[in-house]
Structure 1
Amino acid sequence: CGAVPENLIESELFGHEAGAFTGAEKRRIGKIEHAHQGTLFLDEVESMPMPLQIKLLRVLEEQKVERLGSNHVQQVDVRIIAATKSNLKTLSDEGVFRADLYYRLNVVKVDIPPLRERKEDIPTLFHHFVLIAAARYDRESIPLNAGQATKLTHHDWPGNVRELRNLAERYVLLGPAALDETDTAQDTNVNGRRTLAELMDGFERLALISALNACHGSIKDTMVELGIARKTLYDKMKKHGLDKAEFKE
């Protein structure tokens, strides 16, 4: 829910008829209707606007949905699974989330602790994401050694599973040098996030290390690998404190 703009989420979930609003040139079936006789997963349900919470409650209570711009009610048989990163009970007590919807959703509750509280799962999850990324990019899946696995478990993972998945993708694309990023705590701000400039610098450094490793420190081969001029390569190596001698076998 949080990924969809507020002015579009109603149409996405409930659908609309042609002419229901400006730009609605044809009928659109919403996600709830598409999930008929199936399951619909709603992520970050706490971000759903209050008016839509009322409509969702009606779907749960009556198993009926009405498209925008329509007077016809569609019968649906759908199971809703909702995920949240906030405490919905607290939000409902504060009046930010409807209490009746909270109790209607809270049939079976599954608490999934953050990675920092289940670090024994990190190597297994990382391997899983590496296999997915390797298949996606048609790359080799390189298993972690014991030292690399330990390094992952020592990281706090402020970005939780998304951060781990992104690191696994970089690991597949750039090799073991990508794991060096977990050591650079100074690159993160107080919220555990980094600016665009910091992210770009980090990626540039990892790309240089990966290319220098692959080319065994050869400046000529690294220039070809990265498609940059000799002076540019030397300037970037100096910027990131890299010495070609460190990469020679």
Structure 2
Amino acid sequence: MDSADVPPVLIIDDEPHLRITTGQTLELAGYAPQAHESAESALAALPEDFPGVVISDIRMPGMDGMALLAEIRQRDPDLPVILITGHGDISTAVEAMRQGAWDFLEKPFAGERLVEMVRRGIDKRRLSLENRRLKAELEAQQGAPGPRLVGRTPAMQQLAAMVQRISRVEADVLLFGETGTGKDLVARALHARSTRGEGPFVAINCGAVPESIIESELFGHEKGAFTGALERRIGKFEYANGGTVFLDEIESMPLALQVKLLRVLQERCIERLGANEPVALDIRVIAATKVDLKAAAEAGDFREDLYYRLNVVTLPIPPLRERREDIPLLFQHFALVAGNRSDLEAPPLDAAGISTLLAHDWPGNVRELRNLAERYVLLGAAYDYRLEALLEGATPDNGGLPLPQQVELFEKSLISQALISQRGSVPGACEQLGLPRKTLYDKLKKYGLRAEEYRH
């Protein structure tokens, strides 16, 4: 067994026979005990982000268990510490819990109780470190190139590769996808990964701006250009100079304004309302639509010449129901983000939760999933973390998949979630899933999963 896969447990006790018996009990249970006779030597050997738990006797010469607890809490308040107390020493145990101990054991204690306590502590530690890792990753992304496109399905891998490739060129882009699929996220990723990443990103929802003022919003106006124009105003296009303009719901743009947009795309200049001098633009335009613009052009609802001008590079964004294998991963990602934002820990998904997520049709796509994950973190305890209650009676729909395919999808998602929760540990995933090692390896091969990819 790879030692990296075995959760470590730090044991501190000045009595050799207790160190030995505790260590043997934990080793038989599948853990890696590390025994120390003093708190000082244990602290010297305790690494940052220690992935296990600490077990310590309270009464020891030199630094005792309470002083050790205080020092560990100062270094890492999320590290579970289990203290061992003497018989009848309840007041000390209460004080230890008050000062932040994970739990306590009263001598003599049963090996089964020790193992169960360590198991729960390891689970808590794993979740804390995962939250910490994600928080650090999110903070690092503030200066990194663009938002993450989360997903392991071929459709998302292809989309991520296309975003990386297209971001390097100056071509305008048309994003096509249903409501809630993440068109805004893809547009921001394209901008951030491009040479314009340091410039402004100006998003305009063409369907939300009143038709009476949209021309002024986009192109700006001079003082006195119309009643109420009391001063010069810079429009969105001009404000975006050196950066990117994102035109969301471009199918909602009035036909008369589409003519002027076509000129902007061709000549890269605008004229403010009431002005005669053109203003040169250095911008990239990313447009997004949820309708078939070619069909809209044929029906007379969208200018055909503008459609062909926008259609230089088109990126289709798949709906969530077409990449169901990504649903548990995305849900966990959104839950961890919500947990970090609200300082709450997101409970891990169980089999029933995964089944509920995979059975839903997700008409609102990724946006609906993100909202559900946030409700799960903020309100889940009120419903005992039952996702079906939080979905509020939404009708299950398996997307017309045959039963064998549904079963395979569910099984693959369970294995993937187990590997995520065990950080790529095959023995840990075997224990969580109740599978023999060979059976799990066979299923990993069948579904094209690689345990090492889950260790980072």
TM-score by length of 1: 0.67
The residue aligned with 1:235 is: none
Please point out which of 286, 297, 314 is paired with 1:92: 297
The residue aligned with 2:241 is: 36
Matched, 1:181 2:390: yes
Higher strand share: 2
CA 1:28 to 1:141, structure 2 compared with 1: closer, same or farther past 3 Å? farther
Whole-angstrom CA distance in 1 between matches of 2:274 and 2:336: 45
Instruction: Report the aligned-residue RMSD.
Output: 2.1
Instruction: For residue 40 of structure 1, give the secondary structure of its aligned residue in structure 2.
Output: strand
Matched, 1:17 2:216: no
Q: CA deviation at 1:132?
A: 3.5
Matched, 1:164 2:373: no
Whole-angstrom CA distance in 1 between matches of 2:209 and 2:341: 26
CA 1:39 to 1:182, structure 2 compared with 1: closer, same or farther past 3 Å? same
The residue aligned with 1:208 is: none
Instruction: For residue 301 of structure 2, give the secondary structure of its aligned residue in structure 1.
Output: coil
Higher helix share: 1
Whole-angstrom CA distance in 2 between matches of 1:171 and 1:26: 49
The unaligned stretches of length 5 or more in structure 2 are 1-205, 396-456
CA 1:13 to 1:141, structure 2 compared with 1: closer, same or farther past 3 Å? farther
Q: CA deviation at 1:45?
A: 0.8
Q: Could you tell me the percent identity over the aligned residues? A: 64
CA 1:148 to 1:108, structure 2 compared with 1: closer, same or farther past 3 Å? same
Matched, 1:124 2:329: yes
Mark the structure with the bigger radius of gyration.
2
Instruction: For residue 270 of structure 2, give the secondary structure of its aligned residue in structure 1.
Output: strand
Q: Runs of 4 or more off by more than 6 Å in structure 1?
A: none
CA 1:13 to 1:115, structure 2 compared with 1: closer, same or farther past 3 Å? same
Matched, 1:51 2:256: yes
Q: CA deviation at 1:75?
A: 0.2
Question: What one-letter code is carried by the residue in structure 2 that aligns with 1:143?
Answer: P
CA 1:138 to 1:30, structure 2 compared with 1: closer, same or farther past 3 Å? farther
How many corresponding residue pairs? 186
The residue aligned with 2:355 is: 150
Whole-angstrom CA distance in 2 between matches of 1:157 and 1:74: 44
Question: What one-letter code is carried by the residue in structure 1 that aligns with 2:344?
Answer: R
Moved more, 39-48 or 19-28: 19-28
Whole-angstrom CA distance in 1 between matches of 2:257 and 2:231: 22
Alignment deviations for residues 202-249 of structure 1 (CA, whole Å, 9 cap, x no partner):
xxxxxxxxxxxxxxxxxxxxxxxxxxxxxxxxxxxxxxxxxxxxxxxx
The residue aligned with 1:222 is: none
Whole-angstrom CA distance in 1 between matches of 2:333 and 2:316: 21
Whole-angstrom CA distance in 1 between matches of 2:301 and 2:316: 21
Whole-angstrom CA distance in 2 between matches of 1:177 and 1:58: 53
Contact 2:353 2:386 (C-alpha < 8 Å) held by counterparts: no
Contact 2:356 2:387 (C-alpha < 8 Å) held by counterparts: no
Q: CA deviation at 1:155?
A: 0.5
CA 1:6 to 1:141, structure 2 compared with 1: closer, same or farther past 3 Å? farther
CA 1:70 to 1:156, structure 2 compared with 1: closer, same or farther past 3 Å? same
Question: What one-letter code is carried by the residue in structure 2 that aligns with 1:3?
Answer: A
Whole-angstrom CA distance in 1 between matches of 2:332 and 2:229: 44
Contact 1:167 1:179 (C-alpha < 8 Å) held by counterparts: no
Instruction: For residue 32 of structure 1, give the secondary structure of its aligned residue in structure 2.
Output: helix
Instruction: For residue 279 of structure 2, give the secondary structure of its aligned residue in structure 1.
Output: strand
Q: CA deviation at 1:36?
A: 1.4
Alignment deviations for residues 155-204 of structure 1 (CA, whole Å, 9 cap, x no partner):
11112222222222222221235652326137xxxxxxxxxxxxxxxxxx
Question: What one-letter code is carried by the residue in structure 2 that aligns with 1:101?
Answer: L
Alignment deviations for residues 39-79 of structure 1 (CA, whole Å, 9 cap, x no partner):
21111111111111111111100000112222221100111
Question: What one-letter code is carried by the residue in structure 2 that aligns with 1:137?
Answer: S
The residue aligned with 2:404 is: none
CA 1:88 to 1:139, structure 2 compared with 1: closer, same or farther past 3 Å? same
Contact 2:249 2:290 (C-alpha < 8 Å) held by counterparts: yes
Instruction: For residue 110 of structure 1, give the secondary structure of its aligned residue in structure 2.
Output: strand
Instruction: For residue 370 of structure 2, give the secondary structure of its aligned residue in structure 1.
Output: helix
Moved more, 41-50 or 137-146: 137-146
